[in-house]
Amino acid sequence: MLEVKDLNIRFKTANGLFEAVKSITFTLNKGETIGIVGESGSGKSVTSLGLMRLLNDEQTVINGSVLLNGVCLCTVPELEMQKIRGHQMAMIFQEPMTSLNPVLTCGYQITEAIQLHLGTSKAEAKQRTINLFKEVQLPRPEELFDSYPHQISGGQKQRVMIAMALSCNPEILIADEPTTALDVTVQKTIIELLLKLKAERNMSLIFISHDLGVIGEIADRVLVMYKGEVVEEATVKDLFAKPKHPYTKGLLACRPSPAYHLKKLPVIADFLPSESKSVESIESIRGRFAYKPEEIKERKKTLYAKEPILKINQLNTWFSDDKTLFGLKKNIVKAVNQVSFEVYPGETLGLVGESGCGKTTLGRSILRLIEPTSGSINFENTDLRSLKKNDLRAMRRDIQIIFQDPYSSLNPRLTVGDSLMEPMQVHQFYANDTKRKKRVIELLERVNLLPEHFNRYPHEFSGGQRQRIVIARALALQPKFIICDESVSALDVSVQAQVLNLIRELQREFNLTYIFISHDLAVIKHISDRMMVMNKGEIVEMGDPDDIYYHPKEAYTKKLIASIPRVN
């Protein structure tokens, strides 16, 4: 059905041609799903954009052949290619919020494509769109037709994108990272939906992801891409059972697995051969990194012999709509409801739950970035809720937060060096900026960045590097306690492993205490000494990660566990 042979894609740059995709060859059969996996920058998305002819012709040189039902897409005129896009081949893009037009309703954006490709009337296109919304299991399809993208959740936006891609009955659907940064539960439902639609419509599917665990849930065959090349191709079963390339082994091993207790996660570099070492097996590396049972027992004995550093008692953070005509509040949202727990010095307390369950609100309430409604927050025997503004600011030197999105939490107009020096200046750390700059460079080096990064701006860094920068900023004031809010949720699994290892190293080095927030129970189980499960503003389970994983009490916890992609 689709034959790709010796596809090369090169970009024109000031320094000559940059080869992004190198001699890729594969075929896609009717009704088959091919997974393309690799880290960011490996050439996955560029390959898909090349297949769809969506790259800028003036800036790109493409060689090789792409045959769709015997027609060479590389030589088809652009007007003809516009008819093929959507009708024969369609694409779900990586970020639905930037792919959907924010000033047009969700319904209009799909009816526009239907009218353009199928020539239907406006009324027919609207009815077809509502039917598509029902097919992709969107709630209240008639209401959602008139909703704007910002008014619906991330999972719902992704379903709108799927409906748009299916609107003209394509033979091939390309899904580019459609589940990245979504909750594991939403991710699972999106994968199940794609499989259901593929079977019902007898479509072929190209599914792109950085996560082999996700690929294993949906694909029949897998292409592993590394630096623009396909380094391994196999069926899912064969690839998971006997990976051949060291890079593939690294991708399989770097995702946290609930079955292991590791001091650090394997990373890609652990598997790449060098002059000083040969390629190790996944089992061998995991064995070297594993905790011994007595080490876990001794750590917990030491941790819980101390007095808690943080005590939360009956904490509530409630929000309400505007008041009615008679001064009564309309609806009350109990974002955090009757939450109580303790955190011990040097501990990592994991907090897991779906988006909207109140995790982030709880983290910000502890810091009083959001003012709680009631309850007590006791840090080192000081009631944070009773502190005045200046005293609270001083206390925040000891309690820091790493925000969910590093790009939006860094000022784009400040260099990285200035962003890291700013909290030191506010809290009058060190005598002058010369000493502060020296400390900032030390912090950059500690999080595996370079001194020359001091004068660069946030947009010049990758997602993983920006995450390291905000970790360094959190460390600038030498805190005792850090709240990590979804610190690795949007990262490649390989980069995620590096950041999780860094977070744990820093804890040992600086004796830090963490509350680590995530929607991914596998990540929480790996990083945490204890964990809490949050649902609808309440803590529904709390205890040892192994106890909760192997003996969950709540149906909600069981659903989170069932949603973890299995790498087996």
pLDDT at position 162: 83
Question: What digits encode the pLDDT tens for the residues 289-345?
Answer: 999 999 999 999 999 999 999 999 999 999 876 666 566 656 788 889 999 999 999
pLDDT at position 325: 57
* Whether 229 and 367 share a structural domain: no
12 band by pLDDT with thresholds 50, 70 and 90? confident
DSSP 3-state of 545: helix
Nearest to 68 by CA among 28, 33, 101, 102: 28
Maximum CA pair distance of the chain? 78
For residue 421, tell me if it sits in a domain. Answer: yes
pLDDT at position 377: 96
Question: What digits encode the pLDDT tens for the residues 220-266?
Answer: 999 999 989 999 999 999 999 899 999 999 888 888 888 889 999 99
* Whether 420 and 317 share a structural domain: yes
Most confident of 83-92, 294-303, 487-496: 294-303
Between 408 and 223, name the one with better pLDDT: 223
Q: Examine the pLDDT at 566 and tell me if it is beyond 90.
A: no
* Whether 35 and 112 share a structural domain: no
For residue 77, tell me if it sits in a domain. Answer: yes
Give the separation between CA 458 and CA 407, rounded to whole angstroms: 7
* Whether 445 and 506 share a structural domain: yes
For residue 260, tell me if it sits in a domain. Answer: no
* Whether 319 and 414 share a structural domain: yes
* Whether 16 and 133 share a structural domain: no
351 band by pLDDT with thresholds 50, 70 and 90? very high
DSSP 3-state of 421: helix
For residue 263, tell me if it sits in a domain. Answer: no
Residue 210's domain is classified under what CATH number? 3.40.50.300
391 band by pLDDT with thresholds 50, 70 and 90? very high
* Whether 370 and 457 share a structural domain: yes
Cα separations in angstroms, 554 against 105, 337, 346: 38, 18, 28
* Whether 42 and 7 share a structural domain: yes
Tokens, residue 90: 């369609």
* Whether 84 and 103 share a structural domain: no
Q: Examine the pLDDT at 55 and tell me if it is beyond 90.
A: no
* Whether 347 and 472 share a structural domain: yes
DSSP state of 544: -
Using alpha carbons only, give the angle 382, 507, 538 rounded to the nearest 5 degrees. 55
Domain of 157 in residue numbering reads as 95-169
Q: Examine the pLDDT at 463 and tell me if it is beyond 80.
A: no
The 10 Å Cβ neighbour count of residue 429 is 16
Between 502 and 151, name the one with better pLDDT: 502
For residue 366, tell me if it sits in a domain. Answer: yes
State residue 487 phi and psi, 5-degree precision: -70, -15
350 band by pLDDT with thresholds 50, 70 and 90? very high
pLDDT at position 322: 61
What rounded mean pLDDT belongs to the chain? 88
401 band by pLDDT with thresholds 50, 70 and 90? very high
Nearest to 180 by CA among 565, 567, 459: 565
For residue 249, tell me if it sits in a domain. Answer: no
The tally of domains found in the chain comes to 3
DSSP string, 427-446: TT-SSSHHHHHHHHHHHHHH
For residue 184, tell me if it sits in a domain. Answer: no
Under 8 Å between Cβ of 517 and 363: yes
* Whether 482 and 464 share a structural domain: yes
pLDDT at position 326: 61
For residue 275, tell me if it sits in a domain. Answer: no
* Whether 229 and 365 share a structural domain: no
Tokens, residue 436: 């502060």
Question: What digits encode the pLDDT tens for the residues 209-231?
Answer: 888 888 988 999 999 999 899 99
Query: Model pTM?
Result: 0.84
pLDDT at position 416: 93
What residues pair up with 170 in beta bridges, in sequence order? Answer: none
